[in-house]
């Protein structure tokens, strides 16, 4: 038996997008409708697509300041409950 796509209105999809995406991930399919016209189909992809991680892609583009781990005295005082 073929799966039947459930019609869903644009407003309902927008208001509950996370829930519809989760259900699609689990195998459900939906036809997005607007004023009686089918606009799109929402379903899980037939092929798993993952972008491979590219280590070192940002090498040389991120710079850490020399004083990145130096805390201002007033902030330390406030965190430790000392009055400044």
C-beta separation of 33 from 10 below 8 A: yes
- The Cα–Cα gap between 43 and 32 comes to 11
Q: Which CATH number fits the domain that encloses residue 11?
A: 3.40.1620
Number of compact structural domains in the chain: 1
For residue 75, being part of any structural domain is answered with: no
For residue 14, being part of any structural domain is answered with: yes
Which tens digit of pLDDT belongs to each residue from 67-81? Answer: 888 888 888 888 888
The predicted pLDDT at position 82 comes to 84
Which tens digit of pLDDT belongs to each residue from 1-16? Answer: 456 899 999 999 999 9
Q: Work out the average pLDDT over 50-68.
A: 88
For residue 63, being part of any structural domain is answered with: no
C-beta separation of 31 from 13 below 8 A: no
For residue 17, being part of any structural domain is answered with: yes
For residue 22, being part of any structural domain is answered with: yes
| Boundaries of domain holding 33 | 6-42
User: Please, which residues bridge with residue 41 across strands?
Assistant: 31
Structure tokens at 66: 């020399």
For residue 33, being part of any structural domain is answered with: yes
The predicted pLDDT at position 7 comes to 97
pTM for the whole thing?
A: 0.54
């Amino acid at each position: 038996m073929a799966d039947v796509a459930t019609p869903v209105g644009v407003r309902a999809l927008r208001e509950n997008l996370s829930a519809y995406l989760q259900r699609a991930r689990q195998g459900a399919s939906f036809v997005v409708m607007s004023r009686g016209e089918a606009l799109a189909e929402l379903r899980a992809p037939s092929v798993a697509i993952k972008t491979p991680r590219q280590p070192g892609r940002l090498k040389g583009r991120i710079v850490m300041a020399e004083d990145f781990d130096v805390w201002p005295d007033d902030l330390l005082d406030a965190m430790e409950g000392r009055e400044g």
